Chain A
Amino acid sequence: GQQLNQSPQSMFIQEGEDVSMNCTSSSIFNTWLWYKQDPGEGPVLLIALYKAGELTSNGRLTAQFGITRKDSFLNISASIPSDVGIYFCAGRIQGAQKLVFGQGTRLTINP
């Protein structure tokens, strides 16, 4: 089935560093969502994007809906230990009903 290419698959950073991750596809999307999942929990919605070029922030997190409508980016500034987890992108292809998910980026932070 349709998949999103999410990268990187994992990141090992120092506390205080900035983080960038992205999702790309060959299809055009009209919705992008970013989720975070902590161990043993369900994914929690961080940011939702609905328009090409849209840039939205949630605290230290900033996400953008790519202008080509085929990609999205998530940035985390000044990382802290509680940012550890798996981050997923999800998108809805134009004309489709269901969401497709990226395979996740596992973030590890060294104090």
Chain B
Amino acid sequence: DAGITQSPRHKVTETGTPVTLRCHQTENHRYMYWYRQDPGHGLRLIHYSYGVKDTDKGEVSDGYSVSRSKTEDFLLTLESATSSQTSVYFCAISESKGRGTGELFFGEGSRLTVL
């Protein structure tokens, strides 16, 4: 158990509505990540954080924003959900090793369906 909790685990929403997914960690790790997983695409990085209030974009960041106001929480927001954002979202955490990220530990995922 990597001490990561994602909520909600399942959500169905309608196009155009805002959605926020929450990731909570109890490990006090510096780095937190949001990935999406889709068939044929594997895991793709949306945004990541390297400290409180320090975030950066990943490879598929359009349509998403994030916030990290305290070490243990990393929020992913879809301001206006679209059907293309139907996916399974995974939060991950890591503690840096050397100059970069060490091993990533994943949460159990949040399945989002946008109708």
Q: Which residues of A contact B (CB under 8 A)?
A: 1, 31, 33, 35, 40-45, 48, 88, 90, 92, 96-99, 101-104
B58 near A98 (CB under 8 angstroms)?
Answer: yes
Complex Cα gap A92–B100 (Å): 8
The list of the 6 closest CB pairs from A to B, nearest first, reads A42-B106, A103-B42, A101-B43, A1-B59, A43-B106, A101-B42
- With contacts A42-B90, A45-B103, A103-B40 taken as known, whether A98 is within 8 angstroms of B45 at the C-beta atoms is yes
B108 located at the interface, meaning its Cβ lies under 8 Å from any Cβ of chain A in the complex: yes
Kindly list chain B residues whose C-beta atoms are within 8 Å of the C-beta of A90: 43, 104
B100 near A96 (CB under 8 angstroms)?
Answer: yes
Q: Mark B39-81, 1 if CB is under 8 A from A, else 0.
A: 0111111001000000000110000000000000000000000
Complex Cα gap A33–B90 (Å): 17
Contact of B108 among A42, A45, A48 (CB under 8 A): A42
Complex Cα gap A2–B101 (Å): 17
Smallest CB–CB gap between A99 and chain B, Å?
6
Kindly list chain A residues whose C-beta atoms are within 8 Å of the C-beta of B58: 98
Contact of A97 among B41, B90, B101, B103 (CB under 8 A): B101
